[in-house]
Amino acid sequence: MIRGLSHITLMVTDLDRARAFFEDVLGAREVYASGERTFSIAREKFFLLGDTWFAVMEGEAPPRSYQHIALQIDEADYESWLARINQAGLEIRPGRDRVPGEGRSIYFYDHDNHLFELHTGNLAERLERYREGPGGHGES
C-alpha cells in the first residue's frame, strides 16, 4: 500500500544556490547537508517544506518543460509571494488560461530549470469547478 509522498529529489548545479532558493524564497528548513561525504550518488542537502521532504543533489540541471511541482498558498498571500519571487530575480512563466473558480497560480523557474507553481486552489475546488462544465452552470 502506498502511504503517500516520501520525498522529491531535484538535481541542481550549485548546492549553496539551491539552499538560498529553498530557505530564502520558499521558507524551507535545511535538515541535512552531506558535505564531502556521500551516501547516495552525489553531494546532497535535505529540506523540509511544511511536511514535505525535498532532497537536492549535485548534478546536471534538467531541460525546461511544463512538468512542475505545485505548492499550495493562501489567496490572501498571492501578492506577497509574487513580490518575493520577483525580488529573488527568478523567471516567472506566464500561466495557462484558467476558468473562474480553479484558483490563481504563479509559475516560476528556479536556477536549475525546475518549474514551481504556487497555487491558491485545491483538488476539491478544482473537481467541483470541472463538474460544472465549461460554461460554469452545471453542464458536462
44 is catalytic: yes
Q: Could you read off the pLDDT of 80-138 as tens digits, one per residue?
A: 999 999 999 999 998 777 777 778 899 999 999 999 999 998 888 888 888 887 665 44
Nearest to 95 by CA among 78, 112, 77, 80: 78
Task: Please compute the mean of the pLDDT values over residues 36-46 and round it to a whole number.
Answer: 91
Grid cell digits, residue 15: 548546492
Q: What is the pLDDT of residue 128?
A: 84
Q: Give yes or no: residues 83 and 73 share one domain.
A: yes
Q: Which of 44, 75, 79, 132 is catalytic?
A: 44
Q: Give yes or no: residues 76 and 136 share one domain.
A: yes
Total domains, the chain: 2
Q: Give yes or no: residues 74 and 42 share one domain.
A: no
Residue 125 CA to residue 113 CA, distance in Å, equals: 29
Which residue among 37, 61, 85 closes a domain? 61
Q: What is the pLDDT of residue 10?
A: 97
Q: Domain containing 90 — which CATH number?
A: 3.10.180.10
25 secondary structure, DSSP code: I
Q: Give yes or no: residues 88 and 109 share one domain.
A: yes
Q: Give yes or no: residues 51 and 80 share one domain.
A: no
Q: Please, which residues have CB within 8 angstroms of residue 106's CB and are 6 or more apart in sequence?
A: 78, 81, 82, 85, 92, 95, 117, 118
Q: Could you read off the pLDDT of 7-29 as tens digits, one per residue?
A: 999 999 999 999 999 999 999 99
Task: Supply the DSSP string of 77-120, one letter for each residue.
Answer: GHHHHHHHHHHTTPPEEPPPP--TTS--EEEEE-TTS-EEEEES
Q: Give yes or no: residues 33 and 73 share one domain.
A: no
Per DSSP, the three-state class of 127 is helix
Q: What is the pLDDT of residue 103?
A: 83
Q: Give yes or no: residues 5 and 32 share one domain.
A: yes
Q: What is the pLDDT of residue 21?
A: 97
Q: What is the pLDDT of residue 140?
A: 34
Q: Give yes or no: residues 55 and 92 share one domain.
A: no
Q: Give yes or no: residues 6 and 46 share one domain.
A: yes
Q: What is the pLDDT of residue 34?
A: 94
Task: Please compute the mean of the pLDDT values over residues 62-70 and round it to a whole number.
Answer: 95
Q: 117 vs 78, 108, 140, CA distance in Å?
A: 12, 7, 28
Q: Residue 86: which domain range? A: 62-140
Q: Give yes or no: residues 8 and 74 share one domain.
A: no
